[in-house]
Structure 1
Amino acid sequence: MHPLTYGDIKAAADRIAGHVRPVTVARAEPGAFRTARHDAVGERPEEACEVWLALEFMQHTGSFKARGAQNFIQAHRAVGTLPDAGVTIASGGNAGMACAWAAQQHNVRATVFLPVAAPAVKVARLRGYGADVRLVGTEYAEALAACEEFAAATGALASHAYDHPLIAAGAGTLLEEIHQQIPDLDTVVVAVGGGGLFAGVATAAQHHGIRTVAVEPENCRALNAAIEAGRLVDVPVDSIAADSLGARRTSAMALHAGQHNGVRSVLVPDADIVRARQALWDHRRIAVEHGAATALAGLLAAGDPGPDRALPSRGYRPGSGEKVCVVLCGANTDAGTLMQP
Structure 2
Amino acid sequence: MGQKNESSTDFILLGLFPWFRHPHLLMLIILLFYTIALTGNSLLILLIWLDSRLHTPMYFLLSQLSLVDLAYISSTVPKMVINYFTGKKNISYLACATQLFSFLTLGLAECILLTLMACDRYVAVCKPLRYTVLMNPKVCLQMAAAAWIGGALAALVHTVYPMSFPMCGSREINHYFCEMPAILRLSCTDTSVYEMVIFLTSTAYLLVPFSLILTSYIVIFLTVLKMNSRKGRNKALATCSSHLTVVSLYFGQAIFIYMTPTSSHTPDQDQLVAVLGTIVTPMLNPLIYSLRNKEVLGALRRFTGRCCN
Taking structure 2 as the reference length, the TM-score comes to 0.26
Identify, as 1 or 2, the structure richer in helix: 2
Max Rg structure: 2
Higher relative contact order (CA 8 A, sep 6+): 2
Identify, as 1 or 2, the structure richer in strand: 1
Taking structure 1 as the reference length, the TM-score comes to 0.25
